[in-house]
Each structure stands twice: as C-alpha cells, then as structure tokens.
Amino acid sequence: MAINKETIQRLVAVQQQDAVLDGLQKEIDRIPREIAALQAGLESAKARVAEAKAKTMGFEKKKKEKELELASKEEAIRKHTMELNQVKTNDAFKALQHQIDEAKAAGSQIETEILETMEGIDRGRQEEKAAAAELKAAEDKAKGEISVLEKQLAEVKAKFDGQKEVRDEAASVVPSDMLRIYDHARKRGKPDAIVPVDGGNCSACRINLAPQMIVEVTKAKALVVCESCQRILYKPEPAAKAA
Ligand SMILES: [Zn+2]
C-alpha cells in the first residue's frame, strides 16, 4: 500500500480508535485495584476483631493464673493457721503469724489484680462486639460495591472487545510500514504516535522543523518522523482543523 494523504488520515483514525481503547484499558486496570482495596479494607476489619478477641483471651488467661495464685495463698493461710496450735515457742508463733499476715496481704493484692483482669475481659468483649459490628457493616457495604464494580468491569471488557474489532478493521487498511513505526512509538510511551505539524513546529515536542520537512509532510508521499520525538508528522486537513 502506498503512502498518501488518505492512508495518513486512516492512521490518524486508527490513533483515535486507540485513544478510546487506552481509556477503556485504564478502566480495566483500575476496577480490579478498587476491588482489591475494598477487600483489603475487609481484611483489616477482620484483623481488628481478631485483635480484640486475643485481648480478651489474654485477660482470661491472666485471671486463671491469678485465681490459682490466690488459691495457693489461701491454702498457705489455712495450713499456717492450723500450725499455730502446735507451736511450742513464742518466737515460732510470731514467725508463723508473720507468714500468715504476709499471705493475707499477698492474697488481697491478687484479688485486686483479679478484679483488674475482669475489667479487662469486659473491655475486650465490648471491643470485640464493636469490631464485629464494624466488620458486618463493612462487609455489607463492600459486597454491594464489589458487585457493582464487577458488573462495570464486565461491561468495560465487552466494550473493549467491540472497540478492538473496530480498531483492527481500521488498521487493516493502513500500510504495514506505517503501522510498524506508529506501534513502535506507542510502545515507547507515546500514545500520540502521529501528530499534526503546527505551523513550523512538531505539535508534540514543539521543535522547529526544517522547511524541507514541512514540504515533505505536506506532500505526504512518504512518512516523515520528527527527529526530536520520533512521532510521525502529518499536515492537518483544513476541514479537520476546523472540526
Ligand atoms: Zn516532535
């Protein structure tokens, strides 16, 4: 296929189709990220429930330990109280009484600690309840949002496939040499691979073009590529410029 004004206009049309595809592709990339963010939010809400549960369990464990400690102090008090009846000397009596007093003081301290663990258990259970309610609300909300996003994604994908067919058909009537250069520029991060000259400049990178280049672009008998940005240059049709 020869290069002429018409084939160049066809390539410009392909680029317009590609711009639509690029926009759809962005949506196709964005929607799964949004879904993943919603799912991550749910995971952190789940983690908060587990954290509150672990806190409660920690206090429960501590309470059991303290209860065992208290029982052993009570046992010591009971034992020493019985021994009081069997001692022969005043010093031994005093020593035992001292041990009993110490055990009682320790027992009283442990009872305070048990009360504290009970308060901790209450707080932990309240946190669990609040976290579970938050999780439930987050799940309900995310479920709805995810299903909307999934529907959107399916629609955008279908639109993309339809648009891709239109684009490929438009590309099939563009000379393959032109397409190759065009695709090369696009792959290098230049979605506007074919750009109009703007007066004496490349409209993309604004470099001043040599007059001979402008002449060749106007003739449109061969592809002219901007030496600075490697985009294909074309002369906009007056009608297209007005549109
Ligand atoms: Zn340029």
The first and second tokens of residue 58, run together, are: 């920690």
* H or E stretch covering 159: helix 90-171
Query: What's the gap in Å between 202 CA and the centre of ligand 1?
Result: 5
Q: What is the pLDDT of residue 192?
A: 95
Residues near 134 by beta carbon (within 8 Å), at least 6 away in sequence: 45, 48
The yes or no reply on domain 25-161 and CATH 1.10.287.1490 is yes
pLDDT at 48 over 70: yes
Element (H, E) at 82: helix 5-84
Q: Summarize pLDDT for 217-239 with one digit per residue, the tens.
A: 999 999 999 999 999 999 987 75
Q: For residue 3, what pLDDT is reported? A: 87
pLDDT in tens, 105-117: 999 999 999 999 9
Ligand 1 centroid–CA 12 distance in Å is: 16
Alpha carbon of 242 to ligand 1 centroid (Å): 22
Compute, in angstroms, the gap from residue 209 CA to the centroid of ligand 1: 9
Q: How far is the CA of 234 from the centre of ligand 1 (A)?
A: 11
Q: How far is the CA of 107 from the centre of ligand 1 (A)?
A: 87
Q: How far is the CA of 118 from the centre of ligand 1 (A)?
A: 75
Q: 172 CA distance to ligand 1 centroid (A)?
A: 26
Over the stretch 75-91, which tens digit does the pLDDT of each residue have?
999 999 999 989 999 99
Phi-psi region of 188 (alpha: psi -120 to 50; beta: other; left: phi over 0): alpha
Write down the pTM of the prediction.
0.72
Q: Measured in angstroms, how far is the CA atom of residue 185 from the centroid of ligand 1?
A: 11
Q: Please state the rounded mean pLDDT for residues 48-61.
A: 97
Q: Where are the domains of the chain?
A: 25-161, 176-238
Distance between Cα 195 and ligand 1 center (Å)? 8
| pLDDT tops 80 at residue 1 | no
- Assign 71 a pLDDT band (cuts: 50, 70, 90): very high
What tens digit of pLDDT does each residue of 23-46 get? 999 999 999 999 999 999 999 999
How many residues in the chain?
A: 243
How many A from CA of 9 to the centre of ligand 1? 19
**Edge to edge, what strands does the sheet with 232-234 contain?**
201-202, 194-198, 232-234, 224-225
Q: Which pLDDT value is given to residue 2? A: 81
Tell me how far the alpha carbon of residue 194 lies from the centroid of ligand 1, in angstroms: 10
Cα(206) to ligand 1 centroid in Å equals 6
Burial category of 151 from C-beta neighbours within 10 Å (exposed 0-12, middle 13-18, buried 19 and up): exposed
User: Would you state the structure tokens that stand for residue 138, as one six-digit string?
Assistant: 């987050």
The whole-number average pLDDT for the span 139-164 is 97
> What percentage of the chain has pLDDT greater than the value 90?
93
CA of 187 to the centre of ligand 1 (A): 16
CA–centroid distance, residue 128 to ligand 1 (Å)? 62
Maximum C-alpha span of the chain: 128
Confidence of residue 243 (pLDDT cuts 50, 70, 90): very low
